[in-house]
Structure 1
Amino acid sequence: MERYEAIGAIETFGLVFVLEAADAMCKAADVELVGYENVASGYISVLVRGDVGACKTAVEAGIKAVKDMGTEVYSSVVIPRPHPHLEKIIRRYALITAPVQE
């Protein structure tokens, strides 16, 4: 299992806003987009991982992007050095992608 220094997450209302946040997060810093989760009643979380500074930068950029669209971020977090058991939750968020063919 690969060890990451941090995870970062943003939760807001609606897929469009989460897509905007995810795009801003990935463009702002060297983070890996783990995936998203439809939490409840339209609230959706997006999760990234990378080093601590990159996750902080990514989450800040995601928050700004959502606010610039005229809505609010419900919650956000950056967790430095997450406990290895959190990998169980992170795997639940992970998007399954087809292997890249060369």
Structure 2
Amino acid sequence: MGRAVGMIETIGIATNIEATDLMLKTADVVVYRQNKTDPALVTTYIVGDVSAVKIAIEAGKQVAERTGALVAYSVIPAVDIKTDECLIK
């Protein structure tokens, strides 16, 4: 399987940290980047195999939904190098 990127955006850093912790414990993924848009919106990007990223995002999504803080989530399988470059900036 190819490399995938997963993203989860939450309201509040505490929920995002809890979701990220569970994602890292659930599957073999690595935190690629964390972006704080403002004090309220936090997005964490993870990378790994497609199946691992899907499992991790699902786990993180459940945490954020439970607290009512989920804003958005997405999984991009087989990330193109140009998309990768956009995330680095």
TM over 0.5: yes
* Higher strand proportion: 2
1:24-39 paired onto structure 2 within 5 Å: 24-39=22-37
Task: Report which structure shows greater RCO (CA 8 Å, sep ≥6).
Answer: 2
Q: How many Å apart are 1:35 and its aligned residue? A: 2.0
How large is the RMSD of aligned CA atoms in angstroms?
A: 1.4
Name which one, 1 or 2, has greater alpha-carbon Rg: 1
TM-score, normalised with respect to structure 1 = 0.79
Give CA deviations for 1:48-68 in whole Å, capped at 9, x if unaligned. Answer: 000100000000000111223
Percent of aligned pairs sharing the same letter: 30
CA distance in 2, matches of 1:17, 1:35: 16
Aligned residues, how many?
A: 88
TM-score, normalised with respect to structure 2 = 0.89
* Higher helix proportion: 2
Consecutive unaligned residues of structure 2, counting only runs of 5 or more, are none
**Amino acid in the other structure paired with 2:53:** C
Q: The residue matched to 1:82 in structure 2 has which SS? A: coil
